Chain A
Amino acid sequence: MKADAAPVLETTALSKSFGGLSAVRDVSIALNRGELHAVIGPNGAGKSTLVNLLSGELRPTSGEIRLDGRPVTDTSAPHMAQAGVARSFQRTNIFPPLSILENVRLAVQAIHTPMRGLLRPHSAARDLDTRAAAVLERVGLGEAPHRMAGTLSHGEQRLIEIAMTLAGNPRVLLLDEPLAGMGNEESEAMARLLKDLARDHAVLLIEHDMDFVFSVADRMTVMVEGALMASGPPEAIRADAAVQRTYLGAAS
């Protein structure tokens, strides 16, 4: 699992405060293609806020974000997605009244439809259907794609969340606790999928399950109270005394 030389997505001294609270402080990280970068940290450490900053949903208070070396600090969420940075949400964020297929097809359509194609009847847009079906197959939701998303089990809804993230063929994946609420079997399938994805994507994964994280991550970052506490390969993190004291020790 070798990473290409230049990082795809990179931040320098990124900070975000809400009123008096600084949720993210001076965070500099780099995501490389072919690498799964796990971010861990206790509740309220600022992990989701970091994803919100990277995906353009929140404007940073200070600091810089670069995509392929170009500054994208003030780019809006839709433009980040168009540029190939896709994210999933910690709290399932889908279209409950639509079918599974329609959910994913909206995600495909977002990236693959030129303006003038917009007036095509949706029933004639077979290309979107094909691509959406392929993505559903990949996450293991290929069966009965016409069920209404809102009626599915929590685990299946999480899979829709992931499928929508993959649908636009992004280069960078920001996954905010994709496993939350999944069963054991589903987690194992997800681990395989993540490893597979990490071969040709830059992946940022937020996850609380330490065993899982250590089994999939190529690189890890520990956040505490908004700041970076440590960053490096998993072995180094496991050995880091400060991390052990404040985080791993308490967790296990």
Chain B
Amino acid sequence: MLPTTRGAFALAAGAVVLALLPFMAQVYYVELATTALVAAMLALSLQLLVGCTGLVSLGHGAFYGLAAYTVYLVTPEDAGLSIMITLPLAVLAAGAAALFVGALSLRTRGFFFLMVTLAFGQMIFFIFHDTKLGGGTDGAYLARPALSLLGFELTYTRRQRPVFLYYVALVQLVAMYLFLAFLLRSLFGRVLEGIRINEHRMRALGYDTYRYKLAAFVIGGALAGVAGHMWAMHRAFVNPEIIGWHRSAEALLMILLGGLQSLHGPILGALAFTGLGELPQLVGDAKPFARFFSAIGLADFGLRVQALAERKLLLEGLVILAVVLVLPRGLAGLRWPRFIRPAFGGRPAGNERVQP
């Protein structure tokens, strides 16, 4: 799960690149990068359950969405509250919901665990979808939490905002990564690993695995709350879609893309996934298919292909299919071609752990 020394340097270098990004990119891409960082936080929080503990939950997006809605619910209409108030409240709400859902769903295993987490997640979805509590199906706008700490307020102009929010997200992502790395290094992390490999044996050894799994579930849910809070801050808007289980499934995809074996995998997966989501937009702007086919005299056909290529969910579906069919170990399973590898000094599969 945790990187080697060389890996840690690579990660630090990655963090520096991310920190410099606002100086190099246009506003649109800074905002897109913030979206990617939020997705990375969501995927990272889910990795604690999936990759570390072996719990595949489909209710994780609900805690994320609930936290975003909490920001909306506690914020007065005209002025944003301090982040020192909204963040703890959002995390608390997400953690409490995770405690409730986890306490019940962890009484089951495997397929049933999946179904129960999905069902309870949808329950939270319906609460916001079917009642007027949070603006109903249309969603609602909210005043962004303010960056004020102990009386100090960090203010920014409208034009500076994307950059400020980007750094707020980046700081939280780095903090979350370090926190999880600390957790996995601890004896608690060892117990989660043991549960993932062989829960039956852990129980026979004397571990009350239910409690450990519940602890992981609640911590993961609370961290998803951090991501959800950042989403509300980033978009200043909430709607039921962010609670729905498709968000959880996408987070699982990010994890699979980046690889189950590492803590940085979900971050890479989230970046890749968000980038992929831009593809239909780019194709829509450049219209390569329409141009190509009209150039060879098949304009009608070209327009059809073009229309298909601009469909986001079609692309997403095909990508997932491709990943589970040909890349079962995610992008992390991709290896550099043999003649490049020595130059990178990358270590081949040796120290990876086998999933049982």
Contacts and interface: CB of A to CB of B under 8 A. Distances in A.
B157 interface: no
Nearest to B352: A97
Contacts of B186: 118-122
Given A117-B187, A122-B186, A77 B203 contact: yes
Contacts of A81: 203-206
B341 interface: no
A109 B195 CA distance: 13
B307 to A, nearest CB: 48
Contact of A119 (B188, B197, B200, B207): B188
Given A93-B198, A109-B190, A150 B185 contact: no
Contact of B204 (A77, A97, A123, A128): A77
A138 interface: no
A147 interface: no
A7 to B, nearest CB: 22
Interface in A65-79: 76-79
A125 B185 CA distance: 11
B201 A95 contact: yes
B130 interface: no
Interface residues on A, range: 35 or more
Contacts of B222: none
A111 B206 contact: yes
B206 A168 contact: yes
Nearest to A123: B185
B189 interface: yes
A107 B202 CA distance: 8
A98 B194 CA distance: 9
Contact of A106 (B183, B190, B203, B356): B190
Contact of A96 (B202, B204, B354): B354
B191 interface: yes
Q: Which of B188, B198, B200, B205: most chain A Cβ within 10 A?
A: B205
A93 B201 contact: yes
B172 interface: no
A48 interface: no
B209 interface: yes
A89 interface: yes
Interface in A97-125: 97-98, 102, 105-107, 109-111, 113, 117-123, 125
A164 interface: yes
A96 B201 CA distance: 12
A78 B188 contact: no
A187 interface: no
Given A81-B204, A82-B206, A95 B187 contact: no
Nearest to A93: B201
B278 interface: no
A110 B205 contact: yes
A38 to B, nearest CB: 21
A32 interface: no
Contact of B185 (A102, A110, A122, A128): A122
Given A78-B208, A95-B201, A125 B187 contact: yes
Interface string B194-232: 100110111111111100000000000000000000000
B353 interface: yes
B200 to A, nearest CB: 7
Q: Which of A122, A128, A168: most chain B Cβ within 10 A?
A: A122
A94 B197 CA distance: 9
A93 B205 CA distance: 11
Contacts of A95: 194, 197-198, 201
B206 A96 contact: no
B187 A78 contact: no
Contact of B205 (A79, A117, A125, A168): A168
Nearest to B201: A93
Nearest to B215: A118
7 contacts: A76-B208, A78-B207, A78-B208, A78-B209, A97-B356, A106-B202, A117-B187
Interface of A: 55, 57, 76-79, 81-82, 87, 89, 93-98, 102, 105-107, 109-111, 113, 117-123, 125, 128, 150, 164, 168
- Shortest Cβ-Cβ A-B pairs, 3 listed: A81-B206, A110-B206, A110-B205
